């Protein structure tokens, strides 16, 4: 399936991460520090909003995993681990922040098999109680 179009930031992040992870034997283990670094850098830019940066960086990271044909289930958890580090560094509502990240991750759903989407939800739920259901709700809203 074809990846849905994203913002310029999402496309740039996807390209950056793809380039960094291409040829890596275990790209999933490298994903979290890359996402952490990108979140910090992008949020320092003038006009950046937490919502758009989190959504686009997470979407870009997951898009890279899809394009590289890597484990998107574990990749989604690594992306959320990066976001949880970000949440502890900044003030704000952690559930809202996690929602922005889950929205970004959910944006890959049209490009992958629906069984894999369900597996992503299960992996997220196992690592972050309650977040898997939030992910599933976001995916279902996107379908409507």
pTM (global) more than 0.85: yes
Question: What phi and psi, each to the nearest 5 degrees, are found at residue 129?
Answer: -55, 130
- Flag whether pLDDT at 11 surpasses 70: yes
Tens-digit pLDDT profile for residues 65-122: 999 999 999 999 999 999 998 888 877 788 899 999 999 999 999 999 999 999 999 9
CB 89 within 8 A of CB 44: no
Token pair belonging to 84: 């949880």
The model's pLDDT over 12-61, given as tens digits with 9 standing for 90+, comes to 999 999 999 999 989 999 999 999 999 999 999 999 999 999 999 999 99
Query: Can you give the chain as a three-state secondary structure string?
Result: CCCCCCCHHHHHHHHHHHHHHCCCCCHHHHHHHHHHHHHHHHHCCCCCCHHHHHHHHHHHHHHHHHHCCCCHHHHHHHHHHHHHHHHHHCCCCHHHHHHHHHHHHHCCHHHCCHHHHHHHHHHHHHHCCCHHHHHHHHHHHHHC
pLDDT for 1 beyond 90: no
**What's the confidence (pLDDT) of residue 31?**
97
């Amino acid at each position: 399936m074809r990846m849905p179009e994203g913002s310029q930031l999402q496309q740039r992040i996807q390209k950056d991460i793809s380039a960094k992870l291409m040829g890596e034997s275990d790209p999933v283990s490298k994903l979290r520090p890359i996402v952490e670094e990108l979140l910090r850098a992008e949020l320092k830019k003038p006009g950046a909003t937490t919502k758009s940066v989190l959504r686009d960086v997470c979407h870009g990271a997951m898009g890279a995993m899809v394009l590289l044909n890597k484990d998107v289930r574990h990749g989604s958890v690594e992306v959320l681990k990066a976001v949880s580090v970000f949440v502890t560094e900044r003030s704000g509502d952690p559930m809202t922040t996690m929602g922005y990240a889950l929205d970004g991750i959910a944006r890959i759903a049209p490009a992958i098999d629906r069984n894999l989407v369900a597996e992503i939800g299960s992996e997220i739920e196992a690592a972050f109680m309650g977040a898997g259901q939030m992910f599933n709700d976001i995916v279902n809203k996107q379908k409507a």
